[in-house]
Structures are given as C-alpha cells and as structure tokens.
A and B are shown apart, each in its own frame.
Chain A
C-alpha cells in the first residue's frame, strides 16, 4: 500500500458527510489498510456508532413485516400506519369477508344473464358497509378495549380502517363490474351509493353499535331500492339521477353528523 487517505477525508467519512461513491472507495481502502483503520478509529463519534449499531440490531431483531404491510409501505404509507392497517386483525378479517363476498357476487353477476344488473348494484355498495362494521365492531376486534383506552384517537383509527376497507372493496367491485354483461353507466352506478351508505353507517354508529348501524343501513337501502323500483316501474329507478343526488345528500349529511358526534366514538356507553 503506497498511499493513505488524508485525515480530513477520514474525518468526513466517519461523520457520514461524504457521498456514497466516495464512502465506498474509502471503505475499500480501509479494508486493506491497517494504518488508515487506526486513523479513522480515533475520529469516529461513538454516539453515532452506537446509533448505527442499534439500527442494525433493531433491523435484524425486529419481526419481518407481513406481506400486506410491505405492500403498503411500498406504495408510500408510513410504517406505523401500515402496521395499524396490516396488523389490525379486524381489518384483515373484514378484508377477507369483503373479498370473499365480492367474488361471490362477481360470479352471481356474471352468471345472472340479466341485462339489468340489479343484484350487483344493490350488493356492491353494501360490501364496504359490512367491511367497515367488521373493522371496528367489538365482536371482531379482540384488542378493541385496549384500542379505546389508548391515546390515539379512535375516530382516526376508525377512519383509517374505513378508508382502507373502502379502497379495497371499491377496487374489487370495480374489477367485478367488468364481468357485467353490458358495460354502460350501470357499471359505475354503485359508486356514490357505496360512499353514501358507508358514511351513513359510520354516522349511525355514533348512536348504535357498528353491527346494528350496518344492519339498519342495509335494511333501509334495500327498502329504498325496492320501493323506488315499484313506484317508477323501473328496477333501476334508485340508480338514476335522483337517486345519485340522494346519495350525495346522504354523504354530506352523514359527514356532518360524523364530525359533530365524533366524540361518541371515543368512549363507550356499554361494553
């Protein structure tokens, strides 16, 4: 070895203030040169070294994130939010339920043969309603009491989960729509009802249990579809312009109720 790294370069290397390319060339040299290793040893900040070592042991020790969590991180979700979403058992269960139900109705819609996919349009908006109820009902979430006593806002947790469930079910229902016999406006007519019903069930959950709220919303939805179909002599009456406007109103009213009554979700009246 005929040359040595100069002291200022070694100091900057030890402080982590040189670029990766130069750092690798210094490292290559350090591996082969005992003098420079000795020189760098005196310039290394031990606090920084401890921090690096702690980071290394933590990375080695910490459990490997689950598949869903790795996917969420990859698409830019922060790691603790990814853990909340991916590691929330109720959410995973509700995803499973929603996905299974989705697949069932894809098959039903595809094999129905009707040119008016009423069943698809009635069921699709109910999937996120069921999924959201499953994501925060005490019956599904074993850590529900712990989550309530934790400082993280229950409303925030609930909305995070609801958003994840809605994104998943919307994607699934969107894919399922391709299986419909005719691709026209009806293939998207479930979107607004979907949002309206889910928000309505969340708003109602400030008075009722999540399960009861979901049940009430589902019953009301089916009643509205049946009643409007009968009145207008059109099976799709609920999905035309008036119905869609009604859904927008439901979204607005539910969002308002949810904002005003959100405190009711932070503590329980009964367990």
Chain B
C-alpha cells in the first residue's frame, strides 16, 4: 500500500437513535476503493464524512494530510477534493456548462478564461461537450449523472469521493465510466460507493463491505471472492445448510452457506461473497 491519503480511525455517527456508523476504521491509499453495502449500511454517511460535508460524532480523521475538524485543514482538503453526492442537485434551468461553471466558482476558480477552459475540459472528459449548452432539465438521467461527475473532476482533485456514480447509467455508459475512472485512479485516490458488485469486480483493486454501520470486509476483490470459497454450491433445491439460495436460469439452485459433504462446489463470485457477508437483508436488495 502506498502513502495513506485518507485515514479513518474509530469513526462513529448517529442520527438521533439510529447509529449510522459504528467505530469504522479504514485507511485509503492511491487507487480505487469500492464501498459495497445494502441500503442503510452507512455508505453515504461515510462518504459525506470523508467529503468533509458532515462532522462525525466521534473518531479521528486524517484526509490528504489534514484534519477536517480544523478550519484551515478543512479548506485545504476541499481544495483537493472532488465530490459527487448521491443526489448532486441541479437547477433545471442551468445549462450543463453553467452548472459546472457555477461549481468551478465555488471551487475558487475566479479567472473566467481559465475556468471556462477547465469546464470545457471536464465536460469533454465525460463526453458531454456536444450538449454543454443544453439545459439540464432536457438531459437524460445518464447525462445528468455525467454532468455531476464532470463537476467532481474540476481542478484535477487528488481525492475523488463518488456516491453511487454508476446508478442510472446504461451498460455502455457504465463501461465508459469505468474506463475513465481507471485512468484517473492511477495517480489519485478514488472512493466510490455502489450497490453493484460488478462495478467493484470491474474497477476495484480494493473492496470494503459496510453493513449496519460496521466494516465487514476490507481487502482485494479476489480476497472477497475467496471469502466464500467452499461455501457456494449448486443443487436441485434449496439445501438445509444454505443461508441463501436462489433458482438460477438453468433451473438449479445456487446455495450459499455451509456446504454439505460431497456438495457440487462452484467458483464463488464477488456477489456470492458479498451476499454471504451481509446476509438476507442484502439479498433482498441485490438479487
């Protein structure tokens, strides 16, 4: 692991009686880290804390060498941060160009010419240069997502925090997004959340599984799949030892759990391992 960009130590956050994060400890270096977890797992809360939008109730944070609790440190982090919230919020009357330009001003780019050049650069990166003059309300969901991504790339940030960046993208757009992100991640830290196990399979050198506010797994995608090795088997029906089981396209049942002796074990996928980790709650969402 190279130099640590984000250090999260024992971080907790509650909303009233709901404990969204419970003592999460995590270090992030260069490259892509995929944050996987069912709805309500605490992913968005964790990303908001790393993006310095939300203050944790307890724990220590070190982001790009600064403490976000300190006013100067926070500004220093924000200068090197690109953030895509789950719902970035657009004014529908803005054109794509105006919206990204507006965020560029919030990012302290005060020189008009340089700013406009940068706005054009990021819009072109996400493939939206041809529609930059179109109003956001006239853009499709996938295009809006890309406008959101474009603003996150302004100023070539060292840390990219992306909350469900692939939600709402069609398969081709998702592929292009993964390509773009892989290129970007070579020299920066990318933390992204997703529901899609195939996203982390395709992107993540590293995957973190969050469930009920706690860290359930942290390792490579291969290690995650290995987690379910010997625990995934095919059978003609749901078997008693299966924690989860579903009927696949060919009519057989894919079982995850404690395999009986002589079971027809198969190579586990990341999705199998994820489901094994987070159990039935996730199964309801992801399967």
Interface, chain A (partner B; CB < 8 A): 54-55, 58, 61-63, 78-80, 83-84, 87-89, 141-153, 157, 263, 266-271
Contact = CB atoms under 8 A, between A and B. Distances in A.
A146 B113 contact: no
B83 interface: yes
Given A55-B113, A63-B133, A266-B71, A149 B102 contact: no
5 contacts: A58-B112, A80-B112, A83-B101, A87-B102, A267-B68
A83 B97 CA distance: 13
Nearest to B51: A149
Contacts of A142: 89-91
Given A80-B110, A151-B78, A145 B105 contact: no
Interface in B98-146: 98, 101-103, 105-110, 112-113, 115-117, 120, 133
B75 interface: yes
Closest 5 CB pairs of A and B: A142-B89, A150-B106, A151-B78, A89-B91, A149-B83
A146 B112 contact: no
Given A143-B88, A268-B55, A271-B54, A63 B98 contact: yes
Contact of B83 (A58, A146, A269): A146
Contacts of B275: none
Contact of A151 (B15, B79, B113, B115): B79
Interface string B13-50: 00100000000000000000000000000000000100
Nearest to B119: A62
Interface in B195-209: none
Contact of A152 (B81, B87, B93, B105): B105
A143 B84 CA distance: 11
Q: Which of A58, A88, A141, A145 has the most CB of B within 10 A?
A: A145
Contacts, number: 107
B113 A58 contact: yes
A145 to B, nearest CB: 4
Q: Which of A58, A145, A149 has the most CB of B within 10 A?
A: A149
B9 to A, nearest CB: 18
Contacts of B102: 83-84, 87-88, 143
B59 to A, nearest CB: 14
A271 B48 contact: yes
B112 A143 contact: no
Nearest to A138: B89
Contact of B105 (A63, A84, A141, A269): A84
Nearest to A267: B55
A150 B83 CA distance: 9
A133 to B, nearest CB: 18
Interface in B58-92: 68, 71, 74-75, 78-79, 81, 83, 85, 87-91
Interface in B178-234: none
A146 B79 contact: no
B53 A62 contact: no
Given A55-B113, A89-B91, A266-B71, A146 B98 contact: no
B94 A146 contact: no
A89 B107 CA distance: 17
Contacts of B71: 263, 266
